[in-house]
């Protein structure tokens, strides 16, 4: 009987991203202590995959649960294979503001910056 091991995943979250995540979570009414940010990869976008960020009240079975500068992060097993060593940043530019992702696992991306190929 073999035991499957979960792939390891490390996320790097910049100070600017942590600040925005904390602001957003603070604006949500009644979040429990178990709440965190779910970081996912979902099929879609112009390159095949896109990033998804959602506040959730607690982790799900099989999730990787990490802490980054006081923010709890949840990553499911499917997404973990695409998110290892990804840097999440929050940027402001003439084009607007929002979260950006630097993914060393991506083999290609599109101009919008939220979709990638692996």
pTM greater than 0.85 (yes/no): no
Write out pLDDT tens, residues 32-77: 999 999 999 988 766 678 889 999 999 999 999 999 999 999 999 9
Stretch (H or E) spanning 15: helix 15-27
Residue 109 has pLDDT above 70, yes or no: no
Domain boundaries, the chain: 11-106
CA distance 51 to 105: 13
CATH: 2.60.300.12, 3.40.50.300, 3.40.50.1820, 1.10.3210.10. Which one for 11-106? 2.60.300.12
CA-CA distances (angstroms) from residue 65 to 9, 10, 43, 51, 108?
10, 10, 22, 17, 27
């Amino acid at each position: 009987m073999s035991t499957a091991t979960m792939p390891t995943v490390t996320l790097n979250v910049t100070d600017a991203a942590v600040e925005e995540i904390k602001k957003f979570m603070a604006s949500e009414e009644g979040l429990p202590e178990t709440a965190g940010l779910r970081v996912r990869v979902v099929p879609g976008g112009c390159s095949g995959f896109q990033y998804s960020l959602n506040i959730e009240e607690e982790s799900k079975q099989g999730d990787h649960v990490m802490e980054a500068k006081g923010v709890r992060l949840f990553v499911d097993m499917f997404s973990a294979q695409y998110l290892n060593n990804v840097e999440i940043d929050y940027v402001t530019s003439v084009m607007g503001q929002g979260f950006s992702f630097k993914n060393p696992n991506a083999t290609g991306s599109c101009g919008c910056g939220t979709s990638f190929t692996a």
